[in-house]
Amino acid sequence: QVQLVESGGGLVQPGGSLRLSCTASGITLNYHAIGWFRRASGKERGGVQCISASDGSTFVPNSVKGRFTISRDNAKNTVYLQMNTLKPEDTAIYYCAASPRIPPRCAPDEYDYWGQGTQVTVSS
């Protein structure tokens, strides 16, 4: 049974940082494309960072470019999302997802396995 578990969310002030973790069981993340997605209240789920399994190439939308970074720790079967210079508009539930294929887009419908999400709130 595949399970992805996110952690690391919480309340942070604008300008602060958080590191989200996504730990998997039942699959080896190193062999999967990984995506971090978020859903803000009243909005659709959107991609904030995706990384391929084959060559490590990443998709980073302009909204988080230079602030968010994805990384892998294969020994721990864990993927991280380092989020710096957080803004109130980054407030959302953040999800990690995995796909055994090569997703052509950093889009939710390209990913098969999902975590339960972790809340990130950026507020003073």
Sign of the torsion formed by the C-alpha atoms of 53, 9, 84 and 44: positive
User: Above pLDDT 90, what percent of the chain?
Assistant: 88
Q: What are phi and psi of 83, to 5 degrees?
A: -120, 120
User: Above pLDDT 70, what percent of the chain?
Assistant: 100
C-alpha–C-alpha distance, residues 16 and 30, integer Å: 29
Q: Which tokens in the block code for residue 15?
A: 């300008």
Task: Write the CA distances from 16 to 34, 82, 83, 111, 121, integer angstroms.
Answer: 24, 11, 8, 29, 11
Q: What is the pLDDT of residues 30-61, one digit of tens each?
A: 899 999 999 999 999 999 999 988 778 889 99
pLDDT of res. 112 = 96
pLDDT of res. 98 = 97
